[in-house]
Chain A
């Protein structure tokens, strides 16, 4: 029987040997895949036993911090607390147990939990782990200026809309406001209260960062892009002359000037500067027909249209601007037959843009034609001090020739000095801007103001959008843009 017993012994040993192989599989090969799964409760607990890094504004003001809690099983966990409540909610986002993470809390999670691959972080973390102490994440220092953010949020309060302010020289985000906002401290404890709260528009979409993911009809604010295409083409200069008949013929039908201009229906003989100053649709319609839809779309792509605008927030919280067809981004293969060039030229015709993208348009003009890559995280610091990484400004795209930028700068100044955007004037500071008033069906408009200042040496570029307005861009959005720029340039907190 010993032969059989020996064989049985081998079988028994092989069975246990197989278990060692199986254990090895789950603890090595499969481990990384399982660790990444959303429903892995152990990893979730591990994330919450890390003391996440703080999120601070440019001046050091704390936007996200931690609340310590002991669990029944004796573990120490940290829950997030947002001292500024709704003020930075859409940008900073939230980190919760029950509803995961959004905003910078999601996209910068590796830094905030100290699980990035930076050598210093890894060393710190390993030492902490060996000592058995709590792991601390890295702190984020943002570029946003709390004072400007407060002005922006206060100006937008009670409305649905968004505002973005960039430093055109660097791409740094100085303010990023979205209304209606929400209190991120309620996400874990009382999410229902956020969902139930009333709003001036439907759907309220409080969790949507309108500044980066809200898509709005740009209306006449898009004329800045059209003008870029026209001037860059070499066919037009600032002095090119037109005759405004008050309408433009497209496909055999009249396209009338919009009541945006207010005073008169037709301006008669005008030059290019005056056409932008008074936002004359008929002229832009003619320009569009002349240079064609494709060249306008190409100009828009040089600003970054058709791509998620760059920023550190999660990519699903940023939307690309461009033509949209049935809810999907539409990049026409035969623009000349598929797109109406006249309407596109004044920002209708299925064109949708985000406030961030329009701020990039203003910033591109302001920065002599070069769009800088937008960023909001200035630097990341280790818990014990010391910089982990620092953001350096990068050129994103050249949107137009330098001469075109100079001409547009002059044209946009005219808008503020004597055109549709006079409400944006700041005493002592030259402001350049462009209004937009887009009919969105019914009697309500989406209104815009894109601007930069000081026009001769720009330090701020802004885009403001408002939903469901009865007024025009020049009366509704321009004062808000003015207040934000004023706060950033003079330190005064608006009117």
Chain B
């Protein structure tokens, strides 16, 4: 079977799963949702068929599993968002259209040779910094749950950090490809860039009040630095610097301190700062082994009040874990693992440094972001608000992740191409 036919076959399986998911929600919640729910599955399948056609046209040799896996994650997310709030699901559906558009645009623009991006690496770096600074500007910036991560134009909210993440990885891939030989020598003066990026991450932390984003950017940087140089010393020193910075933030920033306190013991704060995490843990534990069933979980009190704030964005995992149980949650995480494995394989098969660094960076950012949000929800690390890639509700997140997917498709298409 050709690569693209394999992709299509996988997408058909995902399409059927999506139909089953929406049908279960419809059956469980007939009283409150309309038969329109079943149309979602059809719409969703059509959308991915369009993405598939674009991939046939532009990246015929790309990895055939990445798109179906992304489709599956998005489908699980959309089903759960639909179950929580059909209005949000409609908006999310529109955002997925935009995201598939972004995927198509990226593939059409870059499928001849994406490596020319390397020449514009500093432009990407500057753009990333610009986007990161945006929320701090008083005109656009908006603080949600104590973290400044959002900008707004009128009623439209946007989290520029998600896009900045992709741009930053492109910059780092270009920069590290160029400087890797020099950096690999590990001379003292080469620690300069490390310190600069660390300073940048700390600035992000102070500016956004958000430990998670800082950890994400700095983690991506350290990972890519390690891939480029193979020197563990950078990672260790970087890690120490980050822990030091985080400790300082703990001392100085009340928001960060609260997050750490409710991480260590949320139960005394169950009615205040620990409310969200404790409700989320109740939700997860209520799922048990087999889950309550799609549409049968409990997310509101008997008065109809919402139990977990932002259940469809940052806390979508708690909702999924309650309705699908350990079986479903573990399966979902296994899909994340497969995506990571495929992404890293793409990196290993690529034949030039820029492509390797780019693929490894994109894939690792996907892994680290998943760990930061789900690990926070599971109380393995302090909770910080980042989205669960492909699954969470949120326009900027979905668009950014489809661009990330486009990047991996482009790179694998190039390395799989028959000898030119």
Contacts and interface: CB of A to CB of B under 8 A. Distances in A.
Given A16-B371, A71-B304, A8 B223 contact: yes
B341 A34 contact: no
B344 A26 contact: no
Nearest to B321: A23
A2 interface: yes
Contacts of A100: none
A18 B371 contact: yes
Interface in B245-279: 270, 278-279
A292 B283 CA distance: 62
A68 interface: no
A4 B337 CA distance: 18
A1 B227 contact: yes
Nearest to B228: A1
A12 B32 CA distance: 40
B346 to A, nearest CB: 10
A12 B346 CA distance: 14
Interface stretch (A38-46, A397-405, A410-418): A38-46
Interface stretch (A72-80, A170-178, A283-291, A310-318): A72-80
Interface string B315-340: 00000011001100110011011001
B317 to A, nearest CB: 8
Contacts of A45: 298, 300-302
B230 A23 contact: no
Contact of B284 (A8, A26, A69): A26
A18 B337 CA distance: 11
A73 B304 contact: yes
A197 interface: no
Contact of B364 (A12, A19, A39): A12
B353 A74 contact: no
A3 interface: yes
A20 B28 CA distance: 27
B9 interface: no
A334 B172 CA distance: 84
A24 B330 CA distance: 8
Contacts of A71: 300, 302-304
A154 interface: no
B187 to A, nearest CB: 20
A74 B29 contact: yes
Contacts of A202: none
Contacts of B367: 11-13, 15-16
A17 interface: yes
B333 A3 contact: no
B147 to A, nearest CB: 22
Interface in B1-42: 28-29, 31-32
B282 interface: yes
A43 B228 CA distance: 51
A3 B329 CA distance: 31
B364 A8 contact: yes
Interface in A207-243: none
Contacts of A27: 284-285, 287-289, 321, 325-326, 329
A249 interface: no
B185 to A, nearest CB: 16
Nearest to B359: A5
A41 B303 CA distance: 11
Contacts of A26: 281, 284-285, 321, 378
Nearest to A33: B285
Interface in B321-379: 321-322, 325-326, 329-330, 333-334, 336-337, 340-341, 344-345, 347-348, 353, 356-357, 360, 363-364, 367-368, 370-371, 374-375, 378-379
B57 interface: no
Contact of B226 (A2, A8, A15, A20): A8
Interface residues of A, number: 48
A75 B364 CA distance: 42
Contacts of A75: 298, 300, 302
Given A19-B333, A41-B301, A30 B285 contact: yes
Contact of A19 (B28, B281, B298, B378): B378
A346 interface: no
B378 A48 contact: no
B321 A42 contact: no
Contacts of B374: 19, 22-23
Given A1-B353, A8-B226, A28-B289, A19 B371 contact: yes
B157 interface: no
A97 interface: yes
A228 B329 CA distance: 68
B337 A16 contact: yes
A480 to B, nearest CB: 42
A7 B29 CA distance: 46
A19 to B, nearest CB: 5
A3 B230 contact: yes
Given A5-B227, A8-B360, A17 B337 contact: yes
A482 B189 CA distance: 102
Contacts of B123: none
A201 to B, nearest CB: 36
Interface string B371-404: 1001100111000000000000000000000000
A199 B230 CA distance: 82
Interface in B186-229: 223, 226-228
A20 B326 CA distance: 8
A19 B330 CA distance: 9
Contacts of B321: 23, 26-27
A9 interface: yes
B313 interface: no
B416 interface: no
A73 B344 contact: no
14 contacts: A4-B360, A5-B227, A11-B364, A12-B363, A15-B370, A15-B371, A16-B336, A18-B375, A19-B371, A22-B375, A22-B380, A27-B329, A42-B286, A43-B286
Interface of B: 28-29, 31-32, 223, 226-228, 230, 270, 278-279, 281-289, 298-304, 307, 321-322, 325-326, 329-330, 333-334, 336-337, 340-341, 344-345, 347-348, 353, 356-357, 360, 363-364, 367-368, 370-371, 374-375, 378-380
User: Would you list the 10 A-B pairs with minimal beta carbon distance, nearest first?
Assistant: A72-B304, A12-B367, A9-B344, A22-B378, A74-B32, A15-B371, A31-B285, A74-B31, A34-B285, A27-B326
Given A6-B348, A8-B360, A18-B371, 8 more contacts: A6-B344, A8-B344, A13-B337, A15-B371, A16-B370, A19-B370, A39-B278, A41-B279
